[in-house]
Amino acid sequence: MAPQAFSDRFEIDGRPVGAGCPAYVIAEAGVAHFGSEEKAYRLVDLAADAGADAVKFQVFDVDALISGELPEWKDRLSSRHLPYEAFRRIQAYCRDKGITFFATAHDEPSLDFLGTLQVPVYKVGSGEVGNWPFLRRVASMGKPMIFSTGMYQRSQIGEALDAVRQAGNRDVAVLHCVTRYPTPPEEVSLGNMQWIRENHRVVTGYSDHTRGFHFPLAAVALGAQVIEKHITLDYDVPNAQDWKVSCGPSDLGVFIQQLREIEAGLGLRDSGPTAGERDSLVWASKSLVPVRDIPAGTVLQAADLAGKRPGTGIPPSRIAEVVGKTTRTGLARDQVIRWEQLS
């Protein structure tokens, strides 16, 4: 059998990611700072306090990212831009807060800048679909990489992975994604995540653009190894879309707590009842009892017996062993029958 092209597990900033590991939770701050460095620090606080593994920003040079054919987008993103040196300070703040910092570079100069920060992982957004030279360059940076697949054809996922492979990078995670804000439920298509895993044997996850957080929770239940969810401090922002699909101070912690609880419940148990269930057996299971008062010396028939709680006596599964036995003592109606009362 040919060796697997990509790792089934790798590390990000010392944290194992992939097979057998807890889901790696990325709080996607993106441009939710809206050009305010102080607000970027508050987004870091939000992610760290909620228990996210990493907080991710988007780094770009407006002129390097957008051509002159989209002046309205240049204007729109200019107000959501932070200078490179601000991200150097944000990275240091993340280090102090104990949370991993990394970013999506949307253009070549920004990728070069992230290289100077020695980020532990590189994220490639869905907008690089078809931009395989850029993916090859990211893959050649010598760090793990994560890329989202919104707007991709299925065949293009293979093409993107070919570009990564050509650069000699085996440490990659592929995130199923739908680039629509918000994504309606009928378009989420979480089965695509499983298709990626089965067909490309790669660390797989889900980048979410839905309202609420029930779909990323469902993705974890389906085996997502990486989860990305937008975060925000502001809602109802004109000419912005990420806030529509974001968790905030009121629910990010709840989301991550529920995610970890779901993970804790996904194990396979083959050793019978849990300790807690064994305690419950006493009151929840049933024992054989007489349906009427029965005098001593009676040969018991099936019609004399019923199964009722608690489970402290003879279980109904052994009724065939009880039928035909003779009572040593009188039995009161609804009294749990003991073996020593029979002969």
Q: Is residue 270 part of a domain?
A: no
Angle between the 37-50 and 252-264 helix axes, to the nearest 10 degrees?
30
Domain end call among 233, 264, 295: 264
CATH, residue 37: 3.20.20.70
Q: What is the pLDDT of residue 105?
A: 98
Cα–Cα distance for residue pair 231/102, rounded to 1 Å: 15
Domain end call among 264, 287, 304: 264
CATH, residue 315: 3.90.1210.10
Q: With H, G, I as helix, E, B as strand and everything else as coil, classify residue 194.
A: helix
Question: What band does 31 get if pLDDT is binned at 50, 70 and 90?
Answer: very high
> How many separate domains does the chain show?
2
Average pLDDT in the 184-194 region?
Answer: 98
Conformational region of residue 274, where left means phi above 0, alpha means psi within -120 to 50, and beta covers everything else: beta
Average pLDDT in the 297-315 region?
Answer: 97
In whole numbers, what is the pLDDT of the chain averaged over residues? 96
Average pLDDT in the 208-233 region?
Answer: 98
Average pLDDT in the 167-187 region?
Answer: 98
Average pLDDT in the 184-198 region?
Answer: 98
How, if at all, do strands 287-290 and 246-247 pair? unpaired
Average pLDDT in the 168-195 region?
Answer: 98
Q: Could you report the per-residue pLDDT of 96-149, keeping only the tens digit for each?
A: 999 999 999 999 999 999 999 999 999 999 999 999 999 999 999 999 999 999
Cis-peptide into 295, omega within 30 deg: no
Q: What is the pLDDT of residue 4?
A: 81
Same domain? For 283 and 191 the reply is no
* pLDDT exceeds cutoff 60 at 188: yes
Which pair of tokens denotes residue 75? Answer: 């204007």
Average pLDDT in the 333-342 region?
Answer: 97
Quote the longest CA-to-CA distance of the chain: 102
Q: What is the pLDDT of residue 42?
A: 98
Q: What is the pLDDT of residue 271?
A: 83
Same domain? For 113 and 237 the reply is yes
Which pair of tokens denotes residue 106? Answer: 């949307």
Q: Is residue 2 part of a domain?
A: no
Same domain? For 287 and 242 the reply is no
Q: Is residue 269 part of a domain?
A: no
Q: What is the pLDDT of residue 270?
A: 81
Question: What band does 1 get if pLDDT is binned at 50, 70 and 90?
Answer: very low
Instruction: List Cβ neighbours of 279 (8 Å cut-off, separation of 6 or more).
Output: none
Name which residue leads in pLDDT, 73 or 301: 301
Same domain? For 259 and 189 the reply is yes
Same domain? For 248 and 295 the reply is no
- What secondary structure letter does DSSP report for 244? G
Question: What band does 274 get if pLDDT is binned at 50, 70 and 90?
Answer: confident
Same domain? For 110 and 199 the reply is yes
Percentage of the chain exceeding pLDDT 70: 99
Same domain? For 180 and 125 the reply is yes
Cβ atoms 302, 324 nearer than 8 A: no
Average pLDDT in the 22-39 region?
Answer: 98
Q: What is the pLDDT of residue 2?
A: 52
Domain of residue 230: give its range. Answer: 9-264
Cα–Cα distance for residue pair 83/94, rounded to 1 Å: 17
Same domain? For 238 and 300 the reply is no
